[in-house]
Amino acid sequence: MSQPAFDFDLVVLGGGSGGLAGAFRAAGHGARVALLEPGELGGTCVNVGCVPKKAMWLAAGLAGDVAVAAQLGFDVPDTPALDWPTLVAARQRYIHGIHDSYRRRLDEAGIVLVPSRGQLVDAHTVACEDGNRLRGRHLLLATGSRPRRLDVPGAGLAGVSDDFFALHAPPGHVALVGGGYIAVELAGVLQALGCRVDVLARGERLLGQSDAELVERLQEDYRQQGIGLHLGRELAAIEGGPGALRLRDHAGEVSGTYAHVILAVGREPNTSGIGLERAGVELDRKGHVVVDAFQRSSVPHIAAVGDVAGRAMLTPVAISAARRAMDRVFGGRDDARLDYDDVPTVVFSHPPLAAVGLTEAQARERHGDAAVHVYRSLFRPMRQALVDRPRHSLFKLVCVGDERRVAGIHLLGEGADEILQGFAVALKRGITLDDLHDTVAIHPTSAEEVVLMR
């Protein structure tokens, strides 16, 4: 018996950043699109990731601004108090506005929003939770990821990064387990907002993928801020009870008592239980969908983007990959694909760490020591100097070859998150050190240090 006609040109599983971007782009090309999302639109980024994280980071920055203002003569209380519920309400109001915007745009684009989890029945058919089935000529997998939990005794006593955004009061003394960007970001926010923070990391340093020299400087900044860094210690167990938790490492050392423990030890793809095996979609050993350079899975009409594909797990990457995939499928651009080289990133630490291109270690491994030229600028931003604080910024260029082509830009300091974007474009276009030197500096700024390094 013949299969019924396709209900849609595209069925999207997941209403996060990648799924929404793919749905909008496909609809813009005239495709009939259905999008399945059982939770809030926007996925991790909007609801328990970049957006609420940035809101808390901004608030933490304001706490530092208040202290600076007092030193510059403004009449502020000696101990200004933060009303945590007011901050959370403002954050959530902003997020609800994003939800409303998405719903409006979906309606305007003619995209059918199905508030349901989807399971693949076969390579073209998706079953909804109410029993309805949708057949799509093409499928887009964008179901995202979830925080990973550790398989150690007492792990259930700890929260994960998602739980941070459910807090409606300062959490007191907090232990963060992990040394990646999530742990680093939460540590800085919590400490700035008046909490006591310790970080327990298995590695000998934080941020193992970032340039080691900048990370060393950031670690020193964190220690000066009062954050306890316990590096080279692997968690073996969590002991105690609610509000009085202790950490035991593999060496048998036991920590002090914490009100909360938050696990920030990576993320796992949401690929289990959605019927991928029935469609013949291949997964790697970590559960990510195996895709080619064009985001195609082992089933050519099923694409995957974002965290489920497991490469450069960043919101802008998911968006860019989804748009290019839909340009290829529905827009007639057979060569459309995302270039994953030189993706700029920012860790919203205090201060932020921004980077694009190769670290010094990566450049030396790829090009050899003789071909690598490193330039640094260690300076104190004007705001820090005005109040005679010791915090310095460290900017670094990694160049290769006789022409000194800029292969890496690494910025740690105030404004680094905003400075990097334009320089990332320049690096992508192949600028050299001479090109930077030919650019007139904007003074006085931190950004001018990038074009003045020699």
Q: Is 79 exposed, middle or buried (0-12, 13-18, 19+ CB in 10 A)?
A: exposed
Question: What is the residue type of 148?
Answer: R
Residue 108 tokens read as: 């305007």
Other beta carbons within 10 Å of 244: 10
Q: Which residue matches tokens 């000529």?
A: 137
DSSP secondary structure, 373-414, as one string: EEEEEEE--HHHHHTT----EEEEEEEETTTTEEEEEEEEST
Q: Where are the beta strands (DSSP E) in 121-265?
A: 125-127, 133-141, 145-147, 159-160, 173-177, 196-201, 228-231, 235-241, 244-249, 260-263
Ramachandran region, residue 172 (left: φ > 0; alpha: ψ -120 to 50; beta: rest) = left
Beta bridge partners of 140: 12, 303
Pick the catalytic residue from 29, 392, 410, 443: 443
Instruction: Reply yes or no on whether 124 is catalytic.
Output: no
Q: Is 62 exposed, middle or buried (0-12, 13-18, 19+ CB in 10 A)?
A: middle
Which of 303, 368, 364 lies closest to 329, judged by CA?
A: 303
Q: Buried (b) or exposed (e) across 291-307, using 16+ Cβ within 10 A? A: beebbbbebebbbbbbb
**Alpha helices in 289-378, H assignment, sequence order:** 315-330, 360-367
Instruction: Give the catalytic positions in this structure.
Output: 443
